[in-house]
Structure 1
Amino acid sequence: MITESSMRQAKRRAGDMIRKAGIRCSDQELDRMDVADFGLSNLFVEGAEILPLAETEKVACRIIALFPGQTEPEHWHEESKEIGKSGLIPGKEETLRVITGTLRVFIEGEPNTSESVIPEGKEAYYTCRHQILLEPCENLTLYPGMKHWFQAEEEGCVFYTISTTAKDGSDPFTDPSVVRKTQIIREK
């Protein structure tokens, strides 16, 4: 859960990062940005600011802004239980392209990083320990069923995610406490 003022602050800060990265967006687009704390109530440690640019039944394009050290929890994309026009929706294939900053992407494989990058007390929920560093203009494709998590380095990171159909509400997370829809606390 986050407060309305925290959500507004996160949108403003992420919008500034996106515009500073050279991406032109309207105020209306930035207002639609999803501030995701994944129900963990610790947005600046585990969270993401997600700006949808296009979403159809076949493709999606988004911009994700991560604040310095902010981590999007470990998850994977599996076949959706929903039925689209052409049958079951397969797991999402997703290509990441960094615009500014450095993105740490962790996938399954030979461990090559220390646990110091894992949010404190969450070691059991971040099982992928093979790190790939992505710099601006570098891409990485993640395939359906491939477990992964992201983290921005100290300068923060802005990146595109271009994918097949996005049904993020059905993506499983390693941490059973994760809730996909952020709850906003109304302030008086």
Structure 2
Amino acid sequence: MISKLKHNEFARKTLDYFKKANIVLTEDEQNKIEIADFGLDDIENTGLQLITYINTERVCAKELVLFPNQTCPEHRHPDRNGLPGKEETFRCRYGRVYLYVSGDPAANPFCKPPAGSEEYFTVWHEVVLNPGEQYTILPNTLHWFQAGGEGAIVSEFSTKSHDESDIFTDVRIKRIPVIEN
């Protein structure tokens, strides 16, 4: 659960990142920024800020903001109602993002999981994305990602998003944010 005060603080910081990257949001979009704390009460280390532009039956487009060294925890997008899970392409717009997926593990991965959550990070094939670089994650693929030291903005282009169906390796996680008054 995140307090309304902390939510507003993180929304303001998120808007600052969009300004740095020259990404313009409408006033309505600015008011719809989602602050995902994953229910761990450690948003500075495990969290994600995002805006969803569109999410129809066929396509989804989002901007993901990660503050310096902030981590989106390991998860996958499972099949749903007989249809393949979400397929998504990440395109780095600002900063640097380290994406970890299934595959040959990096000998010396750049990132470390947030302290106390190490056991919930199991994939270590490292993909480094700088501005203009992109990577496609296939359905049902375990993945997690972390921003570099200056933070990062990632554009996500995907099939329909069902965030409530994401399966996290860490069973403590609650994907849908709860804001306390």
TM-score scaled to structure 2, two decimals? 0.95
Q: How far apart, CA to CA, are the structure 2 residues paired with 1:110 and 1:123? A: 19
**For the Cα contact (< 8 Å) 2:163–2:176, is it kept in 1?**
no
Count of residue pairs brought into register by the alignment: 180
What code does the residue aligned with 1:184 have? I
Q: How far apart, CA to CA, are the structure 2 residues paired with 1:23 and 1:10? A: 17
Runs of 4+ in 1 over 3 A off after TM superposition: 113-116
**For the Cα contact (< 8 Å) 1:94–1:142, is it kept in 2?**
yes
**What residue is the counterpart of 1:27 in the other structure?**
27
- Identity among equivalent pairs (%): 36
Which of 101, 109, 118 is the matching residue for 2:95? 101
Q: How far apart, CA to CA, are the structure 1 residues paired with 2:3 and 2:111? A: 29
**For the Cα contact (< 8 Å) 2:98–2:111, is it kept in 1?**
no
1:127 counterpart = 2:127: no
Q: Deviations over 1:5-58 (max 9, x none)?
A: 100010110111012211111222011011000111111100100100111100
**What residue is the counterpart of 1:56 in the other structure?**
56
**What residue is the counterpart of 1:85 in the other structure?**
none
Which of 129, 132, 135 is the matching residue for 1:137? 132
Q: How far apart, CA to CA, are the structure 2 residues paired with 1:126 and 1:115? A: 14
Query: What is the Cα deviation at residue 116 of structure 1?
Result: 5.8
**What residue is the counterpart of 1:90 in the other structure?**
84
Mark the runs of 5 or more structure 2 residues left unpaired by the alignment: none
Query: What is the Cα deviation at residue 177 of structure 1?
Result: 0.2
**For the Cα contact (< 8 Å) 1:105–1:134, is it kept in 2?**
yes
**What residue is the counterpart of 1:36 in the other structure?**
36
Q: Deviations over 1:86-122 (max 9, x none)?
A: xx44200000000000000001122213486111121
Q: How far apart, CA to CA, are the structure 2 residues paired with 1:64 and 1:12? A: 14
Query: What is the Cα deviation at residue 183 of structure 1?
Result: 1.6
**What residue is the counterpart of 1:79 in the other structure?**
79
**For the Cα contact (< 8 Å) 2:95–2:152, is it kept in 1?**
yes
Q: How far apart, CA to CA, are the structure 2 residues paired with 1:3 and 1:136? A: 32
**For the Cα contact (< 8 Å) 1:75–1:147, is it kept in 2?**
yes
TM-score scaled to structure 1, two decimals? 0.92
